[in-house]
């Protein structure tokens, strides 16, 4: 009987070793990124002490606002070696594919039925490996939460393990979706115990979903507004790529009528400028109040509906 138990334990340890990221490379990447991110983003952590007492595997969820989000999660949870669920297109990028191989990423095809991915997550957690997932499945367009369905809540209930949340503030302002490269600034990362193992088993799907959406309901522009002194994000071409999201000109009511030029996004067919400031807010010419990207998107959305009609 004891021999059978010892064989079972050896099998679990072997499975865990085969599924979790390779310790040497995970530790190496983490040390390098810790130094770089302190220099580039003056990164600061607010860690939940309740997570320090959990020895078993964690299921980690996080808001998805930039390409650097997995690194923020790695640095925020030093006790846990995380296996990340990543988009198929990211895992197959040339150059990155070789570097990411030791991380043993779980591939997912966004907005498709991913039975193989779900099985890989369940197997990893059962083998004692912590897994990190982004419920939104894509980077935020405007720094706020992208709505998502019940699939993550169902997975949490099925796993029945402690669930942690890693929330980053300022990550979108450092690397918004419309910019091809990051801009140094300030990022704060917060961790919290979202659900205990007992709660994951007993709460209903709607209650779990409510906790998920409440924790991920983050808006970087609101966070920046609430700071006593807004943080600065440095770039010589602050408006680079801005025309990809703020493309509709409110003066001439034309789509794709804005073009980026250093710190301005300028209307092509009318005298209208949208300035991207050091605090990442957008300002219209002679307007006292900043324009939030989310508000501009609403304007773009309503104009697009008018165009479709």
* pLDDT above 60 for 298: no
Please tell me the distance from the alpha carbon of residue 243 to that of residue 173, in angstroms, as a whole number.
Answer: 16
Mean pLDDT of 259-273: 50
Judgement on whether residues 96 and 126 belong to the same structural domain of the protein: yes
Let me know if residue 231 belongs to a domain.
no
Give a yes or no: residue 299 inside a domain: yes
Dmax of the chain from CA atoms? 83
Q: Specify the pLDDT at position 239.
A: 72
pLDDT of residue 2: 55
Is 232's pLDDT higher than 80? Answer: yes
Separation between Cα atoms, residue 192 and residue 163, nearest integer Å: 9
Given this model, what pLDDT does residue 203 score?
94
* Residues with Cβ within 8 Å of residue 199, at least 6 apart in sequence: none
Stated length of the chain: 309
- Calpha distance 41→35 (Å, rounded): 10
d(CA 267, CA 137) in angstroms, rounded, equals 32
Q: What is the domain-level CATH number for residue 56?
A: 3.40.1130.10
| pLDDT given for residue 260 in this prediction | 64
Helix (H) or strand (E) segment spanning residue 265: strand 264-267
pLDDT band at 308 (very low <50, low <70, confident <90, very high): very low
Q: Does one domain contain both 135 and 193?
A: yes
Q: How far apart are CA 227 and CA 260, in angstroms?
A: 28
Which band of pLDDT confidence, cut at 50, 70 and 90, is reported for residue 228? confident
Task: Say whether both 25 and 96 belong to one domain.
Answer: yes
The verdict on 148 and 178 lying in the same domain is yes
Weakest mean pLDDT among 97-101, 110-114, 233-237: 110-114
Q: How far apart are CA 170 and CA 186, in angstroms?
A: 6
The reply to whether 220 and 297 lie within a common domain is no
Range from 191-205, 250-264, 285-299 that averages highest in pLDDT: 191-205
Chain segment 109-149, per-residue pLDDT in tens: 877 777 888 999 999 999 999 999 999 888 888 788 888 88
> Domain tally for the chain?
2
Q: Is the pLDDT of residue 9 over 60?
A: no
Pair (215, 250) in one structural domain? no
> Is the pTM of the predicted complex or chain greater than 0.85?
no
Asked if the structure places residue 234 within a domain, the reply is no
Is there a domain that residue 150 lies in?
yes
| Interval 68-91: pLDDT, tens | 999 999 999 998 999 999 888 777
The range of the structural domain enclosing residue 127 comes to 2-226
What count of Cα atoms within 13 Å lies in the side-chain half-sphere of residue 214?
9
pLDDT tens-digit map of 14-54: 666 678 899 999 999 999 999 999 999 999 999 999 998 88
Is 192 part of any domain? yes
| pLDDT value of residue 299 | 45
The radius of gyration computed from the CA coordinates of the chain, to the nearest angstrom, equals 22
How far is it, in rounded angstroms, from Cα 155 to Cα 297?
32
Higher pLDDT, 106 or 7: 106
* 61 and 106 share one domain: yes
For residues 175 and 141, give the distance between their C-alpha atoms in angstroms, rounded to a whole number: 11
Q: Is 283 helix (H, G, I), strand (E, B) or coil?
A: strand
Please tell me whether residues 219 and 266 are part of one structural domain. Answer: no
**Count of beta carbons in the 10 Å neighbourhood of residue 143:** 25
Same domain for 290 and 207, yes or no, is no
Please give the average per-residue pLDDT across 198-210, as a whole number.
94
Task: Measure the CA–CA gap between 204 and 208, rounded to whole angstroms.
Answer: 6
User: Is the residue at 39 inside a domain?
Assistant: yes
Q: Are residues 207 and 246 in the same domain?
A: no
**pLDDT for the residue 8:** 54
| CA proximity to 62, closest of 52, 70, 54 | 70
% of the chain at pLDDT higher than 70: 73
């Amino acid at each position: 009987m004891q021999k059978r138990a010892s064989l079972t334990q050896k099998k679990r340890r072997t499975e865990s070793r085969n599924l979790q990221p390779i310790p040497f490379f995970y530790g190496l990447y983490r040390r390098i990124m810790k130094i770089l991110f302190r220099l580039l983003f003056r990164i600061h952590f607010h860690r939940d002490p309740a997570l320090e007492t959990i020895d078993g595997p964690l299921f980690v969820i996080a808001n998805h606002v930039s390409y650097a989000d997995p690194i923020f999660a790695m640095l925020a949870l030093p006790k846990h070696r995380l296996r990340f669920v990543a988009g198929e297109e990211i895992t197959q990028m040339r150059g990155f594919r070789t570097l990411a191989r030791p991380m043993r990423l779980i591939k997912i095809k966004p907005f498709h039925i991913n039975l193989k991915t779900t099985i890989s997550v369940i197997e990893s957690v059962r083998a004692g490996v912590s897994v990190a997932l982004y419920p939104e499945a894509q980077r935020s367009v405007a720094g706020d939460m992208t709505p998502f369905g019940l699939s993550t809540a169902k997975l949490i209930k099925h796993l029945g393990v402690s669930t942690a949340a890693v929330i980053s503030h300022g990550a979108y302002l450092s690397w918004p979706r419309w910019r091809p490269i990051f801009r140094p600034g300030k990022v704060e990362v917060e961790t919290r115990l979202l659900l205990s193992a007992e709660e994951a088993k007993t709460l209903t799907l709607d209650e779990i979903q409510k906790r998920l959406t409440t924790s991920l309901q983050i808006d970087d522009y609101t966070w920046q507004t609430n700071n006593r002194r807004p943080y600065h994000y440095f770039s010589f071409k602050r408006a680079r790529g801005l025309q990809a999201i703020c493309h509709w000109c409110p003066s001439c009511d034309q789509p794709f009528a804005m073009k980026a030029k250093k710190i301005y996004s300028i209307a092509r067919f009318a005298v209208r400028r949208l300035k991207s400031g050091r605090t990442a807010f957008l300002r219209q010419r002679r307007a006292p109040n900043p324009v939030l990207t989310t508000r501009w998107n609403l304007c773009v959305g309503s104009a697009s509906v008018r165009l479709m009609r």
